[in-house]
Amino acid sequence: MNTERLHELIDAWRDGILTEEAAAELSQMLRDSDEARQIFRGESQLHGLLHRAVAADAMEDAAAGHRVCRVPPATSRGVEPPRLIAALMRSGRLRFAGAASLAVCLVAAGIWLCVAPRKPEPPDPIATLTRCIGCVWAGPSHPQPGDRLSAGILALDQGLAEVKLANGVDLLIEAPTRLEMMDFACSVLETGRIVARVPPAARGYAVDTLKAKFIDLGTEFGISVEPDRETVAQVFDGVVVAEVKEPDASGKRSHRIVAGEMVRIDAWGAVELQRVAFSHERFLRTFSRPSVHDGDELIPFKPSQIASLDVVTAPGPVIIDGDLSDWDLASAFDARCAEPFGESYHLRGLMMHDAQYLYIGARVGDPMPMRNVIDPNSDPWSAWMGGSVQLRLSTDRTFGWPLKAARGAPRQVERDEQDTSDRIIHLTLWYFQPREQPCLEIRYGMMFDRGVVNPPGWRGAFHKALDGTSYTVECAIPWTLLGADSDPPQAGDELGLCWTVNWSDASGKRWKGQLVEIKNPVYADRGKTLTFDVAETWGRAVYR
């Protein structure tokens, strides 16, 4: 079957320019091929092409000397073709039409009878709406998570939605977007942004736009169509083939895009293919506010499950370069945010020590890594909100565990010595993106009234993963900055320790969630007792 020719004939039929010869050809194709009938049925249902006025328009065209059959769009109350033609015959209008024009219309009516179901049946679902955040839908339908979806248009005015197609393709739809799901193998993006994750079994899934069709070869990719129809496709993993509707200056229509590349087609059809750094501002690859914290707001969160961490002796000199290959990984702890977002938001943390330094290493899952734009020179206190790793620890060997230090009321007169000790430490590590600068802030005591930013003697490095979904941080902090130069922790000590990872939104300045680990089991699921208020909530650092 010549699919391209079939679509040409259907377009002519829909547009009212189907000649007698073309109608006969279309009719023959529909008789010979079940696939052709399915395609025609889908087109006719999609555009509402019921033939209420076939013969009347044919009569007018015949009178004008044209040998065509016009098929206008349906109204809400369609008339079956045989009854329509019979009625027109009784009215006498067709007695003036030429026999050839009548034949064309009868062929068109026969085509409709050939493919149209006698009793409308509900369309089969092709997808499931799996998740929604703040979704406002245009139109009469307002799907909810768990609803099964049939082929048709999804018009999302606000929010973020995830749809799983029957073939396993996941679509992340970011408002405002208008997407038409033709079937589980093809969708049409009219405007907006989507990210598609395509499993191997669904290879060949296509997203069509006004400017190009993008065909997956087993990948993850994002597509945006702006209101002026500028179209951008970016491949995060695998390969996509872009088949542009208009050839470029060299006459080329097909472009192969691999991971790390982007193709841009401007409003006038000019094609630009370039290798680019991932642009997360353009494509959101995960939900921006996952999981639930205290029932208030959707954010990344998890109850603590780990009570202690071994801080091992460094095996030798440590190179601070953002590469943890020279670390003893056996002592690392792993933690993930509550499902279903653990795949994107997670942490592997570890610590080492020697006579001069405390070493901290972490690999952080973050769909929008190292974006922090909060300047350490002007607002270090707020830097944690732009994405950071924080540690709270005690370096005083006499304090033991659990700690007694607490922030208390601002005007509290009597305080425990631990409350104001310079050996109760709060560390914030972040990467200041505008200057590509690793940063460290140290605060002392539970009142946070003393501290330093990027002090001399410390060393830090950040490294973003190639796939743009995580980063590694590594640092060495001298004991002199931690109040323990004369008596640093020794093997056998058990002191207070707590880790926190903060995630930001795409702006790099708005906090959106956290993971807190290494906590006193008594407080493991008591999120309202905050670790920066009460040091008794901290877990144990066991020095080896």
pLDDT at 208 (0 to 100): 95
Q: Are both 460 and 350 inside the same structural domain?
A: yes
Residues 394 and 519 in one domain: yes
Among residues 97, 115, 133, the one where a domain terminates is 115
Are 84 and 219 in a shared domain? no
Q: Tell me the average pLDDT across 144-151.
A: 92
Residue 88 has pLDDT above 80, yes or no: no
pTM of the model: 0.50
Considering the domain architecture, whether residues 35 and 175 belong to the same structural domain is answered as no
Q: Which residues contact 420 (CB under 8 A, 6 or more apart)?
A: 445, 446, 447
340 located within any domain: yes
Q: Provide the domain count of the chain.
A: 3
256 within a domain of the structure (yes/no): yes
Q: Residue 528: its pLDDT value, please? A: 56
Angular region, 204: left φ>0, alpha ψ -120 to 50, beta rest: left
Three-state DSSP at 219 gives coil
Q: pLDDT (tens digit, 9 = 90+) per residue, 166-207?
A: 999 999 998 889 999 999 899 999 999 999 999 998 999 999
pLDDT, tens digit, 9 for 90 and up, residues 433-468: 999 999 999 999 998 889 999 999 999 999 999 999
In tens, the pLDDT along 268-320 reads 767 776 654 444 445 666 654 433 333 334 445 667 889 999 999 999 999 99
Residues ≥6 apart with Cβ < 8 Å to 198: 168, 169, 205, 216, 218, 219, 220, 238
- Of 275, 305, 333, the residue at which a domain comes to its end is 275
Beta carbons within 10 angstroms of residue 148's beta carbon? 12
Distance CA 210, CA 71 (A): 25
DSSP 409: -
Specify the CATH number for the domain of residue 320.
2.60.40.1190
280 assigned to some structural domain? no
State the pLDDT at residue 295. 36
pLDDT tier for residue 404 given thresholds of 50, 70 and 90 = very high
Domain with 202 in it: what CATH number?
2.60.120.1440
List, in sequence order, every beta strand (DSSP E) within 105-151. 125-137, 148-150
Quick check: is 285 in a domain? no
Question: Is 252 in the same domain as 193?
Answer: yes
Whether the pLDDT of residue 406 is over 60: the answer is yes
- Supply the range of the domain harboring residue 153: 125-275
Listed residues 275, 307, 334: the one ending a domain: 275
Q: Which helix (H) or strand (E) holds 286?
A: none
